[in-house]
Structure 1
Amino acid sequence: MRTDPPGPPVSALPGLLRKLAVDRLEMMKDAAALGDAVRVSMGPKKLYIFNRPDYAKHVLADNSDNYHKGIGLVQSRRVLGDGLLTSDGEVWRAQRQTVQPAFKPGRINRQANAVAEEGAKLVALLRAHEGGGPVDVLHEVTGLTLGVLGRTLLDSDLSSQDTLAPSFEEVQDQAMLEMVSQGMVPGWLPLPPQARFRRARRELYRVADLLVADRSARMADGEPGDDALARIIEAAGRGNGPPRRVRGKLREELVTLLLAGHETTASTLGWTLHLLERHPEVRAAVREEARSVLGERLPDLDDLHRLTWTTKVVQEAMRLYPPVWVLPRVAQREDEVGGYTVSARADVLICPYIMHRNPRLWEDPERFDPERFDPQAVASRPRYAYIPFGAGPRFCVGSNLGMMEAVFVTALITRDLDLRTVPGHRAVAEPMLSLRMRGGLPMTVSVAG
C-alpha cells in the first residue's frame, strides 16, 4: 500500500512555486514546516523534500545507486557536461578514481604549504587597504581559493585568470533560471541572460584549453605530474573517440574541477569572516588561539590539529551556511524512504541548510555557537544531522583540502587583521550551486592590536 508524505494544500502551491523562483531558501523553510517528509506535486512532476538524518542517509548512502543527480545540477550540464559534479554511474566512478589520488596523504603536506603561502599573500593584499576605503573581501578570498586550486590540484598559475569567477557566476545564474523554469525557456532565444551565459561558457572553455595545452606541453617534456589535471589529461589520452570529443571531455572535467575547487571554499570563508565580525568574543578567541599556536609564522600541517577552536568556528559557519546547501537527486526506480513511497523519476531534495537548522536536532538553531562541535556534542548527534560536504559515496572528494584552507586562512586573517563590515551592508544568502553571499562582502581593514 502506497503511503505518500504530506503536502501543502493546493491553495499554497502558487506561493511555494513563486518562492522557488525568487527565494529558494524560504521555499525550503516553508516546506520543512510541514514535516520531515514533504511531497509537492506540480502537474505530472513530483518533488519530495526530506529533512531527517535517517532519510538523508537512505537517499545519499544506503540506496545511493537509485538516486542520480537532480535539478540544478542537471541544468549545469550545458557547461559542465558529464563532469564529476553532474555525472552518474560508471562515468562518475571512473572520474572519481582518476582524481582521487590527487588528494592522497602524500600530497597533503605540499598542499598545506601552498595554502599557507597563499593565505599570507591574501593577508598582505588586505593589509594594503588599511585605513582606506572598503574592500570586497569575498572577491579577494575567491582569488585566494583560485590560487590555491591552481597550485594544489592543477600545477598551474591561475593568478592572471581574472575572468573565471565572473564567468562562473553567469553559468550559475543560467542554471538556476533553467531550474526554476523547468527548461521551458529555450536556450536559443536572444535574451540577455542567454547571451551572457554563452559568453561565459566560451570564456571558461578558452581558459580550460589554455591550461590543458600548457600542462600537456610540460608533461610531453618529461615533467612528472601527480596533480589532478595531469591525471585527467592522462585518462583522456587512454580513452577512445574522435579528438573533438576527447577535447570536449577534457574541458568539461577541468571546468567542473575549477568550479568545485574554489566556489565552496570561497563561500565558507566569506560566511566565516562575516560571522566573526558579528561575534567579537568568538573572533577574540580565534585570534588568541592563532597567536598562541602560530606566533608570527605560517601554519603547517601539524597546526591543523592544534587550531581546534578555529576549526569549530569554521564548522559552525558551515552549519549555518553550508557551501553545498541542497543535494538534488532523481529517483531511478520507486523506493520507500522512512515508510513513505517515492515515485520513480521523482525529484528528491536533501537540504543541509534546512536540516542544519532543524530545532529537533540543534538547540536554538539560529544562534552562532562553535561549541556545538565539541567532541561530546558531536557524538550525541546523528551522523547525518551535519552534512556540509554532502554524504555517502559522493561525499566531496576535496573536503579535507577545503577544510584545511578555511581553517588556515581564517586563523591568518584573524591573527593579523580587524575586518569591519561597511555600515548598512546586509549579508544575504544567495542559493546558487553553492550558498553564495549576494553582493559581496565590503569591509574596512585595520591591523589587529
Structure 2
Amino acid sequence: MTGRQHRARAAHPAPPGPPRRATLRLLKQLFTDRLALMGDSAEVYGDVVRIAIGPKAMYLVNHPDLAKHVLADNAANYHKGIGLQEARRALGDGLLTSDGETWREQRRTIQPVFQPKRISRQAAVVAAEVDALIQRLAAHDGPVEILHEMTGLTLGVLGKTLLDAELGGYETLGHSFEAVQDQAMFEAVTLSAIPQWVPLKKQLHFRTARDDLRRIADELVEQRLANPVENGEDVLSRLIESGSAQGASRERMRDELITLLLAGHETTASTLGWAFHLIDEHPEVGERLHAEAVEVLGDRLPEHEDLRRLTYTAAVVEEVMRLYPPVWLLPRVAQADDEIGGYHVPAGSDVVVVPYTLHRHPGFWTDPERFDPGRFDPANPAGRPPRYAYIPFGAGPRFCIGNSLGVMEAVFVLAMAARDLVLRKVPGKVVDPEAMLSLRVRGGLPMTVHRRERVRRAEAA
C-alpha cells in the first residue's frame, strides 16, 4: 500500500457492514435472495455499506447524491462490474458490457437509431404489434403464460423498429437469454471459481444458448448483407456500414446485435409482467386505466401524440418501474481510489448502485412499499423525489438509450389491454422477484384473460 493510500484510509474510514462471522449467511443470501441481502444491508448499515464475502468486498451505494457521484460526476472512474463482466462471455463486447473507447464508438454508431423523431415514427408499428397481441390474448381459452407473450411482443417490436427484420422465426431467443442470465449470475456469486468446462447442467445450457445466439446474430447480418437497405436507418444497417468503414470484425457486429436483442426485449417484457401482476392486485388501478384508455383512444389504435394524454397510464408504468426496476443493479468497478459519502473505496472494488433499494429509500419515498401511481401524477411535480432517487434506466453517460421506445411500448400495451381485457393471476400463484441481470417474475406468470365487456355483464348479473 502506498503512502497516499494510507493517508486516504486514515482520512476516510471504511464503511460499516456485516461482520466477517456473517460470511455464511451472506453467501446464502447471495445465492438465494440477493434483494434481501441488499435491502437488509441498507436498512441496518445506512447509505454506504461494505459487504465482505471471502476475499471480495462489495460497496453498496444507496443515496441519490452518492449514486450521482458514481454514475455521473465521477463516471470515468467506474467501469462495468460484477454480473456484466461475467455476461461478457456470451454477449461479448457489446454496448452493455464494453468500456472506454470501444463503448463510445458503439454508442455513437447506434445512438441515431434512437433519436426521438425516429422513435416517434415507429409508433404505428408498435401499436400494430400490440393490437395483434391483444387479439391473441383475447382468443385464448384457459391460462396464458403472460411473460412468454410479453417476450414475444417485445422481440417483435424490437425486430421491426430497430432492426427492420422479422424475429418471429426465432422462438429460442427468450430461452437462450434466460440461460445467459442464469450463467452470468452463477459466475458472479461463485466468483467465477467453477470453470465453464465443468459439465454442470446450467453450464451446458449456457453453451448451447451462446451458440444459438451467435447463430441468430450471424443469420441476421447475412440476411441484411444479401438484401441491403439503401440509406437504412436501422441498427443492422448502421452496424454494417460502420463495420465496413472502420474495418470492424464480424464478431464485433455479432456482439452488438446479441446485446441489443437482450437489452431491447428483456427490460420491457419484465416491466409489463410486473405491471399486470400489480394491476391484478389493485383492480381500482385497472378501472382507472380502462377509463383513460376509453376517453383518449376510443376504439382506435394509439398514436405517438397520445403519450401526452395517457398520463395515468404513464404514471402506472413509472410506479411499476419504481417498485420493480427492470435493471435492479448497476454494478461498477472503481479504477482508482475514491471517497464516497465520507468513506474510502479502494481501487479495484466492486461498487453497486441498487435502484431496487434506492427506489424504496424511506428518506425520499413515503410508504415506499405501497403501489401508488399517484406519485408520478404530472399535476403534482413537487411530489417527485430528487432526480437520482429514481433511476430505472440508469443515469449518467450510460443512461439507457432505448428508454423512450420501451416506455411507449409499455404505455400502449397497458392502455390497450385495460381498454379491452381483464387479466387475472391463476389462483394460488405466488409472485416473487428473481434478481438476475434483469428483475423478472420467478417461474413465470400464468394469467387468465377475460374480455372486459363479459366481465362487466357477469358483475352486473
TM-score (norm 1): 0.96
**What are the equivalent positions in structure 2 for 1:333-372 lying under 5 Å apart?**
333-372=336-375
**1:419 matches 2:429:** no
Aligned to 1:383: 387
Q: Does 1:239 align with 2:242?
A: no
Query: C-alpha distance in 1, partners of 2:12/2:341?
Result: 12
Q: Secondary structure at the match of 1:74?
A: helix
Maintained 8 Å contact 2:328/2:435: yes
CA apart distance, 1:340 = 1.1
Question: RMSD across aligned C-alpha pairs, in angstroms?
Answer: 1.1
CA distance in 1, matches of 2:348, 2:415: 45
What do residues 124-150 of structure 1 show as CA deviations (whole Å, max 9, x unaligned)? Answer: 000111xx2101111101100000000
> Residues 425-436 of structure 1 correspond to what in structure 2 (within 5 A)?
425-436=429-440
Residue type at the aligned position of 1:316: E
C-alpha spacing 1:313/1:94, structure 2 compared with 1 (3 Å):
same
Equivalences for residues 49-128 of structure 1 within 5 A: 49-128=60-139
Q: Tell whether 2:169 aligns with 1:166.
A: no
Q: Structure 1 residue 17 and structure 2 residue 24: aligned?
A: no
The reply to whether residue 5 of structure 1 matches residue 8 of structure 2 is no
Q: Please, which runs of 5 or more residues in structure 1 have no aligned partner? A: none
Aligned residues of 1:116 and 1:408 also touching (Cα < 8 A):
yes
Shift of 1:291: 0.6
For 2:258, the equivalent position in structure 1 comes to: 255
Distance 1:43 1:162 in 2: 41
Paired residues for 1:182-193 under 5 Å: 182-193=191-202
Q: What is the Cα deviation at residue 426 of structure 1?
A: 1.2
Asked if residue 27 in structure 1 is aligned to residue 37 in structure 2, the reply is: yes
- Distance across 1 between alignment mates of 2:245 and 2:384: 48
Is 1:225 equivalent to 2:206 in the alignment?
Answer: no
Instruction: Sort the Cα spacing of 1:238 and 1:143 in 2 relative to 1 into closer, same or farther, 3 A.
Output: same
- What is the letter of the counterpart of residue 13 of structure 2? T
Structure 2, unmatched stretches of 5+, are 1-10, 454-461
Separation in structure 1 between the aligned mates of residue 197 and residue 119 of structure 2, nearest angstrom? 45
Q: How far apart, CA to CA, are the structure 1 residues paired with 2:83 and 2:438?
A: 11
Shift of 1:247: 1.5
Query: Post-superposition shift, 1:41?
Result: 2.2
Between the aligned partners of 2:155 and 2:14, the Cα distance in structure 1 is 45
Which stretches of structure 1, 4 residues or more, deviate above 4 A after TM superposition? Answer: 377-380
Letter of the 1:65 counterpart: A
Do the aligned partners of 1:372 and 1:378 also contact (CA within 8 Å) in 2?
Answer: no
* Contact kept in structure 1, 2:12 and 2:342, CA below 8 Å: no
Task: State yes or no: 1:309 paired with 2:316.
Answer: no
Q: Partner amino acid for 1:155?
A: D
Q: State which drifts further: 66-75 or 435-444.
A: 435-444
Report the alpha carbon displacement of residue 13 of structure 1 after superposing the two structures with TM: 2.5
2:399 maps to 1:395: yes
Measure how far apart 1:378 and its partner are: 5.5
2:69–2:75: 8 Å Cα contact kept in structure 1? Answer: yes
Query: Which residue, out of 176, 181, 190, partners 2:190?
Result: 181
Contact 1:315–1:373 (CA<8 Å) still a contact in 2?
yes
What is the CA-CA distance between 1:239 and the residue it aligns to?
2.5
Displacement after TM superposition at 1:96 (Å): 0.5
Residue of structure 1 equivalent to 2:459: none
Work out the number of aligned pairs and report it: 441
Mapped to 1, the partners of 2:113 and 2:218 lie a distance apart of 21
Instruction: Provide, for residues 41-70 of structure 1, a one-character-per-residue CA deviation record: whole Å limited to 9, x for no partner.
Output: 234422100100000000000000000000
In structure 1, distance between residues paired with 2:194 and 2:216: 28
Q: Distance in 2 between matches of 1:287 and 1:380?
A: 25
Give 1:377 deviation, angstroms: 4.6
Identity %: 60
- Tell me what 1:198 maps to: 207
Q: Secondary structure at the match of 2:60?
A: strand
SS at match of 2:14: coil
Contact 2:119 2:404 in 1 (8 A): no
- Find the counterpart in structure 2 of residue 406 from structure 1: 410
Q: Which residue of 2 aligns with 1:143?
A: 152
Q: Which amino acid aligns with 1:447?
A: R
**1:6/1:142 CA distance change after superposition, 3 Å:** same
The answer (yes or no) to whether the contact 1:277–1:419 under 8 Å persists in 2 is yes
Partner SS state of residue 292, structure 2: helix
Rounded to whole Å, the distance in 1 between the matches of 2:115 and 2:381 is 29
Pick which of 39-48 and 328-337 moved more: 39-48
Q: Which amino acid aligns with 1:281?
A: E
Deviation at 1:319, TM superposition (A): 0.4
Shift of 1:10: 2.2
| Whole-angstrom CA distance in 1 between matches of 2:392 and 2:89 | 26
The corresponding residue for 1:291 is 294
- Which residue of 2 is the match for residue 152 of structure 1? 161
Q: CA offsets, 1:226-270, max 9 Å, x none?
A: 0112111111122336xxxx1211111100000000000000111
SS in 2 for 1:424: coil
Contact 1:150 1:156 in 2 (8 A): yes
Comparing 311-320 and 17-26, the one that deviates more: 17-26
* SS of aligned partner of 2:450: strand
| Contact 1:293–1:303 (8 Å) recurs in 2 | yes
